[in-house]
Structure 1
Amino acid sequence: MKKIIIFLLFLTVNFCFSQEREIKSEVNSATVFLNSAQVTRTKNIKVDRGLQVLKFVDLSPFIDKKSIQIRAEGIEIQAINYQKNYLNSSKKSMEQISLEDELSKLNDKIDIENINLSSVQDEIQFLKSNRSIGGDQTLTVSALKEASSFYSSQMKKLKTNELAFKNKIHKLHVKKAKITKQIENLTPKKEFASGEIFLKMRSSSVKTVKFILTYNVSNVGWYPSYDVRVKDINSPLHLNYKANLKQNSQVDWNNVKLRFSSANPSQSTKAGKITPYFINYGTYPPNYKSEIDEVVGYVEDSQGPIPGATVLVKGTTIGTETDFNGRYSIKVPDTNSTLVFSYLGFRTVERKANNRSINILMEADEVLEEVVVTAYAKPSKNRRSKSKLGQKLEGRVYGLNTSIPTKKIINQTSVSFEIIEPYTVKSSKKDFIISMKTYEVEASYNYYAVPRIEENAFLVARLNDWEKLNLLEGEANVYFENTFIGTSLIDTRYAEKQLDISLGMDKNVSIQRDKAKDFTTRQFIGNKKEETSVWNIIVKNNKLQTIKMSVLDQIPISTREEIKITMDKKFDGVLNQETGEVRWNFTLTPKNTKEIVLKYTVRYPKNRSLIID
């Protein structure tokens, strides 16, 4: 009986092994989240009757095992296992194979030219070694001239050939260096295993079944950026909404239905903000010079710069990537921000944005061990119709700022932009910049200045009903009056009824803030000391158009009953009693000047000291 059982088990094992089939499939659609993507593959497979195992191969090594789902009608799904095949590493792209072939041919040419160079140099050395005329022969003048002429002509010819070979070798090495750099840009710094999903299933009959495989994959993500264009302050604002896609899953996406989802499994162009100044004994006025709104630096590993590393402001969609030399610059909302540095195959690094320059040394991550997961999937009656759009966008991959038709989908908790036609995205370290939407938005324009911080006027575009645009926070390239102004920040997290977009400073509006020493006084009244501060602010409109202007300043806020602060009776601005912010709103015609006087008095006990300004 025991032998029969062992024999039956042996047959069962062999049956299962013989029924294991290798399945190759293609990515049909992908929903890209901010830091991952959900990938869908579909495959019509003819299945046999009984128990069998299907092995889906050539998958990404970065699959989240918990996210795997398989749907199929009319079969019993018993288990789903995920593992990595370290014997079958990620395949090289056709571009990389072509470049490596070209590099091999270049190395052959360099070897040949080095042989030619060595031969010429040997001839030169031989000629130098035998230039003396020996023997017992009597030399005549003509024979000497003939020998000298021969030596000179031969040496000149050989030296010319030597120089030509050296030039050829130099040019070949320059070309080799460029190709090597390009291959490095395409090749990850480490090899990765390929992913495999095993499906154990049972079918009651022989039939063709449509399998729908979905899973989440990392090393894919996107962040938004914008182009903001304003012709003049009498024209609407044009906002180009772009997706910066990073696809480094080690699997190419060919002609996929692509969707972007907002879900998440040097000189400033941003006008400053007034910080409340709570006055007390021993306190100082706010220090605005320490504010950081941009961080620059470089990212490298032990081998040198890392191009294409992603830099994000944690908890936001503000992001950028390092350039070819590993350098980056990124706008940050405030000094409490945290920067997250990530790159395929390296440990993620986080740094507080408390310095204007932050350099990062990244360390290689450990290779994850093989993981096996057991899960169950339920049959589904949901069938998808096959896309009829075909290969229309084949090859439309590397286009920068490619304008393509999209459909905006507003979900319960997120917003998605669906690319209407199939799109191809190769697995690469490169960023793909896709222009998703361009909006023409009616905006009101207002100049905004905080001369206490900086004596410059900033142009701010104010958008109403901005929620309809479904914007995410991100960097914006600003173009005003057909000129690139700089990089600003669209931050939707704190916007309320209106969204303000800073369009940068305008030198045609001049600001000057000076302390009026003749009117600043200090006197004693009884047991009180009284100090009066007077500031003169001059705003001049050098533009040809009338502008709307807002000027902000501040007065200190008392935290003690014995400290009294009063404004001058002629004060014509608006005072916020809680923050001490003062504001003047006015319209300024071309070539005209507006003079503003900020005058306030602080009274406090004469035996105490206060730092007023």
Structure 2
Amino acid sequence: MKKLFYLTLLAPFAANAADISASSVITSATVFPTRANISRNAEVLLPQGKHTIVFDGLPAALDTSSLRVSGMGAFSIGSVEIKELFSKDFVVEQERKLRAKIADLSDKRRFVESDLAAAETGKTFLENMAKSNAAPQISVNDKTEALSPDAWGKAWQSLQKGMKSLGRETIEKQIELRKIDAELSALNKELRLLSGGSKSAKQIRVNVESAAPVAAKLTVQYQIANASWKPIYEARLNTRDKTVEIMQYGTISQHTGEEWNNIDLSLSTAQPVLGTVPPELETRWLNLDEPVKKRGKMLGRAASFSNDSSFADTISEPAETAEIAAAEFSGSDFAGTFAVKGKANVPSDGSDYRFLVGGWSAKADIYAKAVPAVQPAAYVMASAQLNTPAPLLPGAMSLFRDGAFIGDSKMNFLRPNAKLHLSFGQDDKILVKHTVAGFEEDNGSMISRNNKITLRTTAAIQNLHKEPLKIAVYDFLPVAKNSDIAIKITKDETTAGYETDPDGKVGVVKWESVYQPQEQKTVNYGYSITYPKDRELLF
């Protein structure tokens, strides 16, 4: 078989070409974060000569610039024409069916309402008869005579029977109306999820030519909005094996108006809608104004540069359980695609459908982190280097520690082979106590020009685990914004081995060491703040 591909939009091909309708089905979809690429396949028998293969009923919202047509067989593809056709009816089949059901139910409701009104009218008539003060009467030989007492009982029984029958009918009709209203509400909700309402559709006309009769296979590809996927994660920490496992799932939703049934589904990290060329920097000219205006102009320029977010953006860094089949990855350093195992179904109802993308496991560095000055508790921390085939996009994350659900967190953007740092909740086997050991404020003497504040704290940390554990203790170290403020750690009152500004975090002090089982350590900390006597210190 020979594969031929050619595409030209809106170009004439053959004046006398015969139209051949193609019945196409969606065979695959690649979902991007904000849209999807759809592939439709069709097979037609082409007679000898020039013909036009017509694809009807394609979504009106498809991106015409992304349209591609290819074929397999001994024929050639000429031009491809795109038309938008309008209809008096809704073009999406599922929407038509839903609206038809809603119309039928609405008509049925009107009939039930009519029956209910008739029954209530009958009840009102009998109630008025029962409330009448006139004595019961009967017409005999064109004369009206009062009923005999013996006939009153029969009249009353007849009235009671009528009231009972009409009362039951009223209740039955009310129940029927309630059921109809519930069904109508569900159908209208389903209709809203479709986000339809379109009465137009695209028609693709593919002009072809064949030297002999041939069975032609054609594929139509296009991109369409109203489809998306987002990653969600599970992080599972095993403290015994000291491993962390990350499971990535893709949550897909679409309301394109097309049903994706039994298709090959892929998830891509590429974003086709983003710009295709980098921004160009324009020359920024500086000049000096007259001396009188210099100060105001320069302040204005400084504010302009500090608030120019567009300029900043251009220079910023960019029992045995069943296994769920993970997606297969393919891609490059720039984007990745995950192919979901097996066939997939994603209805066009806007609901979320979840598919497993992949899982990665790595040895974890497990330690505890405590900030006694803020909270008398320690948290289980884990860091691991994940060898993922593609960057992990930001998304919601569920945390599990030794099989137990701990809480929710989020995954930040993570590049392949980058270190992942996660917190797995409080560790109740680490005791933390914080005490302010001293606070002194010296307003200085007649000679001294400075005020001085001295603070001393003590943190007691105890490891109740049966194994040694690395524990990191953090505290504040104020940072001066004014050169007249001097801040100094009191070394003879501070536990040695501390690190200032760890991991680039300014204004933090860290003590890290291994705690043996049942071992308790005390972290002493002191610092002083000196500032001018005639100034007020702002916290």
Deviation at 1:244, TM superposition (A): 0.9
Residues 433-453 of structure 1: CA distance to partner in whole angstroms, max 9, x if unpaired?
A: 112323444323233344556
Q: Greater CA deviation, 536-545 or 237-246?
A: 536-545
Aligned counterpart, 1:447: 368
1:214 paired with 2:221, answer yes
- Within 5 Å, which residues of 2 pair with 1:468-507? 470-493=391-414, 497-506=418-427
CA contact under 8 A between 2:190 and 2:349: conserved in structure 1? no
Residue identity matched to 2:523? I
1:406 paired with 2:327, answer yes
Q: Secondary structure of the equivalent of 1:16?
A: coil
TM-score, normalised on structure 2? 0.73
1:133 paired with 2:53, answer no
Query: With CA pairs under 8 Å and 6+ residues apart, which has the higher RCO, 1 or 2?
Result: 1
Residues 399-434 of structure 1: CA distance to partner in whole angstroms, max 9, x if unpaired?
A: xx9933532224242222112323233323122111
- Within 5 Å, which residues of 2 pair with 1:508-523? 511=432, 513=434, 515-516=436-437, 518-523=438-443
CA contact under 8 A between 2:59 and 2:258: conserved in structure 1? yes
- Within 5 Å, which residues of 2 pair with 1:289-368? none
CA contact under 8 A between 1:21 and 1:55: conserved in structure 2? yes
Q: Secondary structure of the equivalent of 2:93?
A: coil
Distance of 1:230 and 1:458 partners within structure 2: 13
Residue identity matched to 1:478? L
TM-score, normalised on structure 1? 0.65
1:554 paired with 2:479, answer no
Deviation at 1:133, TM superposition (A): 2.1
* Shift in alpha-carbon separation, 1:48–1:537, aligned structure 2, 3 A: same
Aligned counterpart, 1:166: 174
Aligned counterpart, 1:83: 83
Q: Bigger radius of gyration, 1 or 2?
A: 2
CA contact under 8 A between 2:333 and 2:390: conserved in structure 1? no
CA contact under 8 A between 1:220 and 1:246: conserved in structure 2? yes
Aligned counterpart, 1:238: 245
Distance of 1:425 and 1:256 partners within structure 2: 9
CA contact under 8 A between 1:222 and 1:243: conserved in structure 2? yes
Deviation at 1:476, TM superposition (A): 0.8
Deviation at 1:110, TM superposition (A): 3.6
Residue identity matched to 2:188? T
CA contact under 8 A between 1:449 and 1:458: conserved in structure 2? yes
Deviation at 1:599, TM superposition (A): 1.3
Aligned counterpart, 2:206: 199
Residue identity matched to 2:260? W
Aligned counterpart, 2:501: 576
CA contact under 8 A between 1:408 and 1:415: conserved in structure 2? yes
CA contact under 8 A between 2:361 and 2:386: conserved in structure 1? no
CA contact under 8 A between 2:392 and 2:414: conserved in structure 1? no
Q: Secondary structure of the equivalent of 1:472?
A: coil
Residues 537-556 of structure 1: CA distance to partner in whole angstroms, max 9, x if unpaired?
A: 45566777765432322212
Deviation at 1:242, TM superposition (A): 0.6
Distance of 2:264 and 2:340 partners within structure 1: 7
Deviation at 1:259, TM superposition (A): 1.5
Distance of 1:28 and 1:489 partners within structure 2: 34
Q: 1:524 aligns with which of 444, 465, 470?
A: 444
CA contact under 8 A between 1:24 and 1:58: conserved in structure 2? no
* Shift in alpha-carbon separation, 1:98–1:76, aligned structure 2, 3 A: closer
Q: Secondary structure of the equivalent of 2:122?
A: helix
1:177 paired with 2:180, answer no
Residue identity matched to 1:212? T
* Shift in alpha-carbon separation, 1:108–1:542, aligned structure 2, 3 A: farther
Residue identity matched to 1:501? L
- Within 5 Å, which residues of 2 pair with 1:113-124? 113-124=112-123
Aligned counterpart, 1:600: 527
* Shift in alpha-carbon separation, 1:453–1:55, aligned structure 2, 3 A: farther
Q: Greater CA deviation, 13-22 or 580-589?
A: 13-22
CA contact under 8 A between 2:234 and 2:399: conserved in structure 1? yes
Distance of 2:200 and 2:463 partners within structure 1: 64
Deviation at 1:462, TM superposition (A): 1.3
Aligned counterpart, 1:58: 57
Residues 443-476 of structure 1: CA distance to partner in whole angstroms, max 9, x if unpaired?
A: 2323334455656544332112344575322111
Q: Secondary structure of the equivalent of 2:439?
A: coil
Deviation at 1:192, TM superposition (A): 5.4
Deviation at 1:78, TM superposition (A): 4.0
Distance of 1:205 and 1:144 partners within structure 2: 96
Q: Secondary structure of the equivalent of 1:524?
A: coil
* Shift in alpha-carbon separation, 1:156–1:252, aligned structure 2, 3 A: closer
Deviation at 1:83, TM superposition (A): 3.2
* Shift in alpha-carbon separation, 1:412–1:202, aligned structure 2, 3 A: farther
Residue identity matched to 1:241? Q
CA contact under 8 A between 1:29 and 1:258: conserved in structure 2? yes
CA contact under 8 A between 2:340 and 2:356: conserved in structure 1? no
Distance of 1:81 and 1:402 partners within structure 2: 47
Q: Secondary structure of the equivalent of 1:30?
A: strand
Residue identity matched to 2:439? F
Residues 469-502 of structure 1: CA distance to partner in whole angstroms, max 9, x if unpaired?
A: 7532211122335443332111134897421123
Distance of 1:107 and 1:89 partners within structure 2: 19
Aligned counterpart, 1:431: 352
Aligned pair count reads 462
Residue identity matched to 2:475? D
CA contact under 8 A between 2:360 and 2:388: conserved in structure 1? no
Residues 322-357 of structure 1: CA distance to partner in whole angstroms, max 9, x if unpaired?
A: xxxxxxxxxxxxxxxxxxxxxxxxxxxxxxxxxxxx
Aligned counterpart, 1:329: none
* Shift in alpha-carbon separation, 1:430–1:561, aligned structure 2, 3 A: closer
* Shift in alpha-carbon separation, 1:592–1:142, aligned structure 2, 3 A: farther
Residue identity matched to 1:602? I
Residue identity matched to 1:191? S
Residues 508-539 of structure 1: CA distance to partner in whole angstroms, max 9, x if unpaired?
A: 656555544x4333252733332212334455
* Shift in alpha-carbon separation, 1:44–1:538, aligned structure 2, 3 A: same
Distance of 1:434 and 1:159 partners within structure 2: 54
